[in-house]
Amino acid sequence: MKDRELTRPHAVWILIIAALLVPACTRASSNEENESRLAKVEPIEGSTVNRVTSTPAAAERLDIRTATVVETRVAGNRTRREVIPYAAVLYDPNGETWAYTNPEPLVFVRQRVSVDHIEGDVAVLSDGPPPGTAVVTVGAAELLGTEYAVGEE
């Protein structure tokens, strides 16, 4: 064999390896495209928050769960207050408190909440969404990351 000459068997192996690598690269690109299409973030006119619309696959992958805002008497108090699971409360870098509402299937909107106090695993609100509103209890941090495009290049 001559110095550095490509022989027929070597050329065949190179073609086989290239044939295997090209689909793998295509799959990676397709996965990246799918990842970027897992949610759509749209500004809400007249607001500083966005509407996050998730695909069914993304919601399943995040295992998003919700609970309903309820109105109840708290600690024997005569006034009724809205309460949500403490797991639904998010804190931003400024210490402001938020919760993601779920106004329709696969749609999530961050809403400011004012937490009066915490009782165990329940947040008692002084201001927030009305009773009956669905709030995200699992997956809210991931929705916040999606809204702010955390981790995207």
- Asked if 44 and 27 sit in the same domain, the reply is no
Q: Give yes or no: residues 44 and 112 share one domain.
A: yes
How high is the pLDDT of residue 150?
Answer: 74
pLDDT at 90: 97
Residues 69 and 132 placed together within one structural domain of the fold: yes
pLDDT reported for residue 32: 40
How many domains are there within the chain? 2
Among 128, 83, 131, 93, which Cα is nearest to 109's? Answer: 128
Whether 153 is covered by a domain: the verdict is no
Residue 8: inside a domain: yes
Residue 49 within a domain: yes
Are residues 87 and 57 part of one domain? Answer: yes
Residue 97 belongs to some domain of the structure:
yes
Same domain, 29 and 42: no
18 and 71 together in one domain: no
Q: Please tell me whether residues 7 and 43 are part of one structural domain.
A: no
Q: Are residues 5 and 25 in the same domain?
A: yes
* List of the chain residues with pLDDT < 50: 11, 24-35
Range of the structural domain that residue 23 is part of: 1-36
Q: Does any domain span residue 76?
A: yes
Q: Looking at the structure, tell me whether residues 126 and 139 fall in a common domain.
A: yes
Asked whether residue 66 falls in the same domain as residue 98, the answer is: yes
Q: Does 137 map to a domain? A: yes
Q: Where are the alpha helices (DSSP H) in the chain?
A: 8-36, 56-62, 140-147
On whether residue 152 sits in a domain, the answer given is no
**CA 74 → CA 78, 80, 81, 114, 136, distances in Å?**
8, 7, 7, 16, 22
82/129 Cα distance (integer angstroms): 8
